[in-house]
């Protein structure tokens, strides 16, 4: 008599995730870092033709699916950001930012269907188990730079001062879509990268509490006390921190970004015009100058200048233009103890240079220096500090030059 065994009921085998649905074809949850990297291969590796030549068929299929909905890392700003993003995440994991750091949820797309979805683990909670079959292509359609940076960390944790043990404890938020056509996945990519309103640079800088230039600009705005309508108030009252340009109806007198240009130019001189558009950390300060020393000199220097020129700010004169503030910062830099370019100035010398400058927004003073006049004689200051700050500095520092005489009405 022969015996036959019945085969076990087919069970979906793969990676199980605990999730909560927010629509019929999408869920949210958190995932351990090693599991995420197992699900989503490194985009950098998938763009390496030599590496892919010797990769598994599943890896090559994944690369083909990724190419349908993602842009290339190579030769793009996206690829250039990977290293700095990895360093940022590593610093956050190590506790260097305390609770003041975050990464956005990663948006994943499963090309196909889950192997299984369980019933609710707790009635009424919505929480379920979802099983993704091994080898199913899962692509990051938003957050891919973060995924690439996480692969960098996991490939060489010691390079970032981490260990596999510390990384294994990391959990990341995600959302997962499935059953979408390629066109729908592409549309989500587009919507996430284009439809959203970008944060203005000025607002972003005002929120970056680790940017040393922004820190100093805020401190200077508080330290500079000015008289307004019979009361002494901090200059911060008149600083617009949320917009990059002022409207005529705005009650503020200067933008935070323009004030920050003055600060950065005071620290670095002419090279500050280039640096003003980037992030400034304490490690980027002039060689041999500590953050404490710099703050002790720059805050009173700039705050005093702002206070002395408050009447001109209140009159909405040329002084509030970024190009003019950049030029003033270059001149003010020569009063600092670390200035190495240009003749040294005392604070009294600097005040004397400002004494007879005509700040009115008129072409006869500022056309060709900090602004351009149109056919109707209306000045346009939109060129910015990088374009015109150097000319303003020369006109401020050298009164007997053509520019110096022009801004003084001679």
pLDDT digits (tens, 9 = 90+) for 176-202: 999 888 898 889 888 887 776 666 565
Alpha-carbon distance 187 to 380, whole Å? 40
How far apart CA 189 and CA 180 sit, in angstroms, is 12
Q: Which range, of 42-51, 204-213, 393-402, averages the lowest pLDDT?
A: 204-213
Percent of the chain with pLDDT over 70: 94
| Mean pLDDT, the chain, whole residue set | 88
Instruction: Please give the biggest Cα pair distance in the chain.
Output: 119
Report the C-alpha dihedral over residues 224, 241, 98, 79, rounded to 10 degrees: -130
- Confirm if 276 and 213 have CB atoms less than 8 A apart: yes
Quick one: pLDDT band at residue 208, thresholds 50, 70, 90?
Answer: confident
pLDDT at 379: 78
Whether the predicted pLDDT of 221 surpasses 90: yes
pLDDT at 9: 63
DSSP 148-161: HHHHHHHH-GGGGT
pLDDT at 170 over 60: yes
Is the pLDDT reported for residue 1 higher than 60?
no
Other C-beta atoms within 10 Å of 225: how many?
A: 15
Q: Which residue has the higher pLDDT, 195 or 25?
A: 25
Least confident interval from 11-25, 279-293, 302-316, 370-384 = 370-384
Give the pLDDT score at 250.
Answer: 85
Given phi > 0 = left and psi -120 to 50 = alpha, else beta, which region is 345? Answer: beta
Between residues 228 and 376, which one has the greater pLDDT?
228
The overall pTM is greater than 0.75? no
Q: How many CB atoms lie within 10 A of CB 181?
A: 9
Residues paired with 334 in a beta bridge? none
Tokens read off for 173: 């938020």
Around Cβ 160, how many Cβ atoms within 10 Å?
Answer: 18
Q: How far apart are CA 326 and CA 69, in angstroms?
A: 43
**287 HSE (CA, 13 A, CB side):** 1
Asked if 313 contacts 321 with a C-beta cutoff of 8 angstroms, the reply is no
pLDDT number for residue 50: 87
Tell me the two tokens of residue 390.
């150097």
Burial class (CB in 10 A: 0-12, 13-18, 19+), 5: exposed
pLDDT at 7: 66
pLDDT confidence band for 316 (50 / 70 / 90): very high
C-alpha 3, offset from chain centre = 69
**Residue spans of beta strands (DSSP E) within 265-406:** 372-373, 379-380
pLDDT of amino acid 297: 94
Average of pLDDT values for 96-116? 91
- The answer on pLDDT for 350 being more than 90 is yes
382: pLDDT strictly greater than 70:
no
Has residue 11 got a pLDDT over 60?
Answer: yes
Where do we find the tokens 């005529």? 248
pLDDT at 124 over 80: yes
Tokens representing residue 304 in the block = 């005093």
């Amino acid at each position: 008599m022969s015996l036959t065994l019945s085969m076990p009921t087919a069970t979906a085998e793969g990676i199980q995730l605990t999730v909560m649905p927010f629509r019929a074809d999408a869920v949210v949850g958190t995932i351990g870092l090693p599991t995420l990297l197992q699900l989503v291969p490194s985009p950098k590796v998938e763009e390496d033709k030599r590496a892919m030549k010797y990769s598994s068929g599943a890896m090559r299929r994944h690369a083909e699916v990724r190419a349908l909905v993602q842009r290339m890392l190579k030769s793009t700003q996206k690829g250039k950001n990977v290293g700095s993003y990895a360093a940022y995440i590593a610093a956050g994991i190590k506790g260097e930012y305390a609770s003041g750091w975050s990464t956005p949820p990663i948006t994943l797309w499963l090309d196909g269907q889950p192997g299984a979805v369980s019933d609710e683990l707790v009635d009424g909670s919505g929480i379920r188990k979802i099983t993704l079959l091994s080898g199913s292509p899962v692509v990051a359609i938003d957050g891919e730079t973060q995924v690439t940076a996480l692969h960098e960390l996991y490939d060489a944790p010691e390079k970032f001062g981490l260990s596999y043990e510390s990384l294994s404890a990391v959990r990341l938020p995600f959302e997962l879509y499935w059953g979408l056509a390629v066109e729908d996945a592409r549309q989500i990519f587009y919507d996430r990268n284009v439809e959203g309103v970008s944060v203005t640079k000025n607002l972003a800088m005002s929120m970056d509490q680790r940017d040393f230039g922004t820190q100093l600009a805020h401190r200077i705005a508080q330290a500079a006390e000015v008289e307004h309508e019979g009361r002494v108030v901090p200059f911060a009252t008149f600083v617009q921190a949320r917009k990059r340009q002022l409207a005529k109806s705005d009650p503020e007198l200067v933008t935070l970004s323009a004030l920050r240009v003055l600060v950065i130019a005071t620290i670095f001189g002419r090279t500050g015009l280039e640096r003003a558009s980037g992030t400034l950390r304490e490690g980027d300060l002039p060689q041999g100058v500590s953050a404490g020393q710099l703050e002790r000199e720059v805050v009173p220097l700039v705050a005093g200048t702002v206070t002395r020129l408050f009447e001109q700010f209140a009159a909405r004169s040329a002084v509030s233009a970024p190009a003019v503030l950049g030029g003033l910062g270059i001149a003010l830099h020569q009063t600092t103890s670390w200035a190495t370019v240009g003749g040294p100035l005392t604070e009294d010398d600097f005040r004397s240079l400002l004494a007879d400058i005509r700040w009115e927004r008129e072409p006869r003073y500022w056309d060709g220096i900090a602004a351009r006049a149109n056919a109707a004689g209306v000045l346009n200051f939109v060129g910015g500090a990088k374009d015109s700050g150097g000319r303003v500095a020369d006109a401020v520092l050298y009164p007997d030059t053509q520019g110096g005489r022009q801004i003084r009405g001679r």
